[in-house]
Structure formats: structure tokens, C-alpha cells
Amino acid sequence: MENLGHFRKSYEKNQLLESELPEDPITLFARWFADCQALEPETEPNAMTLSTIDPDGFPKSRVVLLKSFGADGFIFFTNYLSEKGQAIDQHPKVCLSFFWAASQRQIIIQGGVTKIGTDESNAYFESRPYGSKLGAWASAQSQVVESREALDKRLEEFARMYPEHVPRPPHWGGYVVHPFKIEFWQGRANRMHDRIRYFIHEQGWHFERLSP
Ligand SMILES: Cc1cc2nc3c(=O)[nH]c(=O)nc-3n(C[C@H](O)[C@H](O)[C@H](O)COP(=O)(O)O)c2cc1C
């Protein structure tokens, strides 16, 4: 076993007090997202860990990119037939989490998840670069593939099939996560972190402080 006990940081950059909380968590999310963009532009602030529940009840997490957010929820795009797509079909409940190291912050979002409309998926697919569009056809995401060469060959085949306009594959599109709980974690000294959890009650957002 490699001992990592000496990896230890003190978090002292920020605080999160009730007096500065907006009424809804999306406003706070936007604030923190902007801070992260300003502080660590070289990272991908919109990279988030998406956790799903596999059909056998096991959790699985992987990184995906947040592509838009607002009062209606948090949107990401993927292959609907992938492992995550199948997990969501069975258990349409997910967790999204962000770790923004430079600001010593974490956000954890829990919610139900649904597919977005085909028009919205088409519009986003249209905005992607040509190669990414082909990739969406060439990759049977999460399936075992015999070799890298086989994958590259599939990409070439689709490039021949679609030399210009690439339609959106029907199995590729967006999901929107409808949050019902959003926790904001701000690292503080002595492991006495600030944790504020927003939750929906009687159709409105409320918040409570959690012990670190
Ligand atoms: C920074 C980063 C961004 C990613 N963005 C996406 C994404 O937006 N959509 C996606 O399907 N996979 C994305 N991936 C790949 C996923 O992590 C994952 O490998 C893939 O979706 C297959 O997951 P699954 O087999 O569990 O369904 C990203 C990976 C990284 C590291």
C-alpha cells in the first residue's frame, strides 16, 4: 500500500455564509461557475462527475460536460445506448458533482433526469465540429470494440457516407437533470467546512446548513 497520509491541504480561501445566499441555488451555481472560470480558465469548469445506478444496483461515475444550465435544469449530451443511458432508462435518478480545486469548492446535485426534446438535441448536434459529429456515429459507446483500427475504420466509413452534412444519430442526444437537492461545499480551515444544502419543499427552494 502506498501511504498518502501526508497529502494534506488547509482550505482557507473562501467562506459561505447565510447572509450572502441567494434565494435559489441556480444563482449561486452561476456565481461559483463564473468564479471558477476566472480562477482556473485552463481547466474545464463544466466537467462534472455524473453518477448513475446500474441495472444491478451498483453506482457508476464518469465525467461528462455540462452544456447548459438554468431554472429548468442541467443539460449534458451523450449516447442514449451507452452504459449510462441504460442505467438512466432503469433508474432515472442521478447525481452530478463538481470539484473546483482553485476555489476549494464542491457542488453536489441530485435529481431526476429526462431526455431533452429532439429539436434541442438537433440544434446542439448541429453546432458540433464535423469530426465530433462523425464520432457520434462511429462509436457504439460503452460496447467492446475489437481494436483501435476497427474504430478508425468506422470513422472513415461514416466520413464517406456523410461527406458534408452529418445528421444526428437517433441514439445520441441530451439529458436534463431536474435538481431537487443542491449542496454547496466551501472548504474552510480545520476541516470546519461550510456546507449549505438547498432543497425543494412545497415548490420553492429552501436551504439548511450541514455539519462538515
Ligand atoms: C473531461 C471529460 C469530458 C467528457 N465529456 C463527455 C460528454 O459530454 N459526454 C459523454 O458521453 N462522455 C463524455 N466523456 C466520456 C465519459 O467519461 C465516459 O467515458 C463515456 O461517456 C462512457 O461512459 P459510460 O460507458 O459509463 O456510459 C468525457 C470524459 C472526460 C474525461
Q: Grid coordinates standing for 148?
A: 483501435
CB distance 76 to ligand 1 below 6 Å: yes
In this predicted structure, the answer to whether residue 84 has a pLDDT above a threshold of 90 is: yes
pLDDT, tens only, 63-79: 999 999 999 999 999 99
How would you classify residue 5: left for phi > 0, otherwise alpha for psi between -120 and 50, otherwise beta? alpha
Query: pLDDT value at position 131?
Result: 96
pLDDT, tens only, 98-126: 999 999 999 999 999 999 999 999 999 99
Q: How far is the CA of 81 from the centre of ligand 1 (A)?
A: 13
Question: pTM of the predicted model, to two decimals?
Answer: 0.96
Query: pLDDT value at position 4?
Result: 93
Q: Report the residue among 40, 49, 64 best suited for mutation to probe ligand 1: largest number of ligand atoms under 8 A from its CB.
A: 64
pLDDT, tens only, 11-20: 999 999 999 9
| Backbone φ and ψ of 104, nearest 5° | 55, 50
Work out the pLDDT band at 41, boundaries 50, 70, 90. confident
CB distance 64 to ligand 1 below 6 Å: yes
Q: How far is the CA of 28 from the centre of ligand 1 (A)?
A: 26
Instruction: Report which DSSP code applies to 163.
Output: S
Best CA proximity match to 113, nearest among 49, 169, 170, 50: 50
Query: pLDDT value at position 6?
Result: 92
Write out the catalytic residue numbers: 191
Q: What does the pLDDT average to over 147-154?
A: 97
In this predicted structure, the answer to whether residue 38 has a pLDDT above a threshold of 90 is: yes
Best CA proximity match to 124, nearest among 47, 164, 63, 176: 176
